[in-house]
Amino acid sequence: MQVVVPYAARDPKSRLADVLDADERRAFARAMRADVVDAVRAAGGTPTLLTTAPPESSEDPALDGVAVAVDDRPLTDAVDDALPEGPGETVAVVMADLALATPESLTRLFETTGDVAIAPGRGGGTNALVVRHPDFRVDYHGASYRDHRRIAADASLSVGVVDSMRLATDVDEPVDFAEVLLHGERRARDWLADAGFEVVVREGRVGVRRSE
């Protein structure tokens, strides 16, 4: 299966700026991207990195052999151009910040039936989807999960929904680090641990702190 992995190369993960400087955000984003690419491959997918700028050569061995498409347009426009153009084609879209994605969770997504299969993100977004019909187009503004259900309904397309904690967890805010440290098993978790982040419990609630 062809799998598009969108990645914002310029100033990635800006909402982490309170806890990570620019170089750290780039390194952490690359670690998550590598984990996603590895999981896609292990699930039998063929990844294409859809990036807003060319990746630095040799910066990431995980990209060896990965097709790269550079498109600096807004996410919706760039992804739309990668979706099926005719009957019988299938394209998956998996965001590059799904640090908890595993081959098993992606296989569930890839095997979910429907003209469109969607893995919702927390907060109303769309973290991953499979498109099997050329009449479907994306809209990543606002509550995209709701909007994608509406777009599919307007086109009389069937929708399968994947309820997965791993695919629902995208890393946008510092609070999301706790999920990576608790459930992650690969580069992103190791990067956070090496950077001094650890899980703490305060007044019965789980949080994260960074050691000096």
Q: What is the CATH number of the domain that holds 150?
A: 3.90.550.10
What is the spatial distance between Cα 68 and Cα 210, in angstroms, rounded to a whole number? 34
- Answer yes or no: is 133 within a domain: yes
Residue 186 pLDDT class (50, 70, 90 cuts):
very high
Domain annotation covers residue 187: no
Residues 67-84 have pLDDT tens digits of: 999 999 999 999 999 999
Phi/psi of residue 12, each to 5°?
-70, 150
What are the tens digits of pLDDT across the range 26-58?
A: 999 999 999 999 999 999 999 999 999 988 755
SS3 (DSSP) at 112? coil
Quick check: is 57 in a domain?
yes
Please give the pLDDT value at position 204.
85
Q: Does residue 191 lie within any of the structural domains?
A: no
Overall domain count for the chain? 1
Q: Which domain holds residue 42?
A: 2-168
Strands 126-131 and 116-120: antiparallel
Look up the pTM and report it.
Answer: 0.95
In a domain, 15, yes or no: yes
pLDDT tens digits, one per residue of 128-173: 999 999 999 999 988 999 999 999 999 999 999 999 999 999 999 9
How confident is the prediction for the chain on average, in pLDDT? 95
Query: Does residue 34 lie within any of the structural domains?
Result: yes
Mean pLDDT of 90-119: 98
| Domain assignment of residue 173, yes or no | no
Q: Note whether residue 201 is domain-resident.
A: no
